[in-house]
Structure 1
Amino acid sequence: MSQLEEMDEGLEQTAPVWAVFGDLMTGLLGAFVLVLLGVLVVQMDLVDHLQLEVQKRQVEEQRRMTLEKALAGPLASGRVTLNNGRIGISGSVLFPFNSDQLRPEGRALLKSLVQPLKVYLAERDEMLMVSGFTDDRPIQEGNRRFADNLELSAQRALTVTRALVEEGMPSSLTFAAAFGAEQPVASNASEAGRVLNRRVEMAPVPKSAPAADARHNRS
């Protein structure tokens, strides 16, 4: 066999090897591109999520500041608290112990809240949820008005809701909810904690069908 023939045979044997190597490199390059695209998509999703979270925090902070400004007077008096957009009033400020009858000073406090809350709700097309809470102690024997803490918290929430309406809050913008001893803000193991848990909270919420249903069923 001549030297030229031997070279041709060597080239023929080498060519398939290079073809396989080329196909392998093409496949690896394609896989790398797919991985890179996947990473870019994930990063874009993370950036969008972070931007949404930042915008949400900014809206919540602006909402808190606006509500705080609207309630500057009552907040300064110390009889009203504001935490995460929820306006809290101690039950002892509004009611005698185990009662749903408003104290005169409690009604006066509610009256002072109506106008700023009306403006706040109107500007945001929201409504006010009035929630009643109690401690975990059973209703005292001899108090036949309420079967349990849930009923007491419901009646207190209704009393506050009706008082707000009587003082000028549109009935279409407020509704009552009851939680009884659920969602305590302090330990019920001490009297100081139980005092904190006996409270009424008011929170601006978006208008929705469930809220509207609860409003119609409050009486």
Structure 2
Amino acid sequence: MLGHEDPEAGTSLDADVPVWAVFGDLMAGALGAFALILVAALGMQMDLTERLKTEQREREAQTQRLQTLEQALAGPLAGGRVTLVDGRIGISGNVLFALNSDELQPEGRQLLRSLSGPLAGYLGSRNEILMVSGFTDDQPVRGGNRFADNWELSAQRALTVTRALIDAGVPPSAVFAAAFGAEQAVAPNTDATGRARNRRVEMAPMPRPARSGVAAGVGSDRRDAAR
């Protein structure tokens, strides 16, 4: 009798244990997967929150930057000869130069002198650098002019403004020139009014490029060698 009951008991135990073991494994796996999903979701939420905070700080910094620049240029802006749009300072080419010329007109030179002080103070306080950009309309440079094309004319005008700002007190290390020719027009070149708007000089403050440690080390080694 004992020999008969033992096999039945053993068979009953062998049948029940695997079922609960498998169920427990499934539950543990499901809980583990849920925990991983929850951790991943929390991580994504934290990352998104941090990115939103960073973007908010950047927007606030940009707003403060524009307000500071507008305050620095309050006088010239009030005169109506200078515009400020999205941090770009614009001056009509007609104020600065005669048609197809890179020589500053007296009014333009005076205007640049009025801008140099506020710009130098602004750039120094924020450790920024000023890009001076020259633009033209799309009309070919007239025959007999010493400029080969609009690229060359816009480059020389940007250089002329850059030198005038330096002469008026802007540090040479805080300003550089760029040329765009007839590219990036702000108005159609189909009439005299639109072409006059496109003949312009813009100045845009931007972060000063950081010097790499390698470049700084090379420069230091060269100076030491020269000594």
Normalised by the length of structure 2, the TM-score is 0.86
Residue matched to 1:176:
177
Counterpart mapping for 1:44-55 below 5 A: 44-55=46-57
Please give the root-mean-square deviation of Cα atoms over the aligned residues, in Å.
1.9
1:161 corresponds to: 162
2:221 counterpart residue number: none
Q: Which of the residues 22, 25, 28 maps onto 1:26? A: 28
Matches within 5 A, 1:114-193: 114-143=116-145, 145-193=146-194
For residues 39 and 78 of structure 2, the distance between their equivalents in structure 1, rounded to whole angstroms, comes to: 55
Q: Which runs of 5 or more residues in structure 2 are unaligned?
A: 212-227
Instruction: Spell out, residue by residue over 1:79-121, the C-alpha distance to the aligned partner (whole angstroms, 9 max, x if none).
Output: 1011111110010111111111111111111010011111101
1:17 corresponds to 2:19:
yes
Shift of 1:4: 8.7
Separation in 1 of the partners of 2:5 and 2:191?
Answer: 104
Deviation, 1:203, is: 1.2
Paired-residue identity, % = 63
In 1: Cα distance, 2:8 partner to 2:210 partner: 88
Deviations 1:47-89 (A, max 9, x none): 1110110000000000000000000011111110111111100
Alpha-carbon separation, structure 1, partners of 2:80 and 2:201 = 15
Q: Equivalent residue of 2:131, what SS?
A: strand
CA distance in 2 between counterparts of 1:187 and 1:31 reads 60
Give the residue type in structure 1 aligned to 2:160.
T
Deviations 1:104-160 (A, max 9, x none): 1111110100111111011011121111011122112232x1000000000100111
Letter in 2 for 1:116: P
CA-CA distance at 1:195 after TM superposition: 1.6
Give the deviation of 1:172 after TM superposition. 2.1
Name the CA distance, whole Å, in 2 between partners of 1:209 and 1:181.
Answer: 31
Distance, in Å, in 1 between the alignment partners of 2:210 and 2:142 is 37
Residue 213 of structure 1 corresponds to which residue in structure 2? none
Take 2:89 and 2:135, find their aligned partners in 1: how far apart are those partners?
A: 13
Distance in 2, matches of 1:208 and 1:134, equals 28
In the alignment of these two chains, the number of paired residues is 209
User: Equivalents in 2 of 1:46, 1:193: separation in Å?
Assistant: 44
- The one-letter code sitting in structure 2 at the alignment partner of 1:200 is V
From 63, 68, 71, the equivalent of 1:69 is 71
Aligned to 1:185, what secondary structure does the other structure show? coil
Give the partner amino acid of 2:74: A
Equivalent of 1:86 in 85, 88, 97: 88
| Bigger mean CA deviation after superposition, 55-64 or 172-181 | 172-181
Q: TM-score, normalised by structure 1?
A: 0.89
Which residue of 2 is the match for residue 215 of structure 1?
Answer: none
Q: Match of 1:203, SS?
A: strand
Give 1:163 deviation, angstroms.
1.1
